[in-house]
Amino acid sequence: MRTDKAQQVVALVEEKRIIQPKIGGKKLYFMLKKLLKSLHIGRDKFFDILRANHLLIVPKRSYHVTTNSHHRFRKHKNMILDYQITKPNQVWVAINHLFFISQSANFLILAWSTNYKSYFSILNSYFALSVFNVELKNAES
């Protein structure tokens, strides 16, 4: 008798899931409430039947993955880990796939680009500008 009711519930759920494959248990219970009441099946029993027949929907993650450390690209060692940074422009950081240049001392983004070809022109122009600024400071002092 119990398995017969469970089979009826599974048939009802599969009928609804043909139209909407990702519909969750709460909404299914709301849609099938009258039919389930006639079968004398409550909410908890309904979810037990869904769980036993692997019909529960796995919820999506509520967070976004922003870093993939297991990518196929080369990962370089941190060469400035023990390096003491004391002044601006002492260390520059460039990440290949993001195309931005930043100062490591104060994490200020100096230049950025989303275009692969313009990245090198930004890098060259910023390097030329910073060398000019360093020469200008040296000339003033």
Q: Note if the pTM is more than 0.75.
A: no
Task: Give tens-digit pLDDT for 110-128.
Answer: 555 555 555 556 666 666 6
End-to-end CA distance of the chain: 95
- Does the pLDDT of residue 131 top 70, yes or no? no
Task: Give tens-digit pLDDT for 42-93.
Answer: 999 999 999 999 999 988 878 777 777 777 777 777 777 887 878 776 776 6
Cα separation, 121 vs 42, whole angstroms = 67
Question: And the tokens for 26?
Answer: 């709460």
- Does the pLDDT of residue 94 top 70, yes or no? no
Amino acid at 137: K
Q: Output the pLDDT for position 128.
A: 60
Residue of 55, 70, 48, 51 lying closest to 12 (CA atoms): 55
Q: Could you tell me if 101 and 122 are in contact, meaning their C-beta atoms sit under 8 angstroms apart?
A: yes
Task: Give tens-digit pLDDT for 14-45.
Answer: 999 999 999 999 999 999 999 999 999 999 99
Q: Output the pLDDT for position 118.
A: 59
Q: Which helix (H) or strand (E) holds 13?
A: helix 2-19
Cα separation, 43 vs 33, whole angstroms = 9
Q: Output the pLDDT for position 36.
A: 93
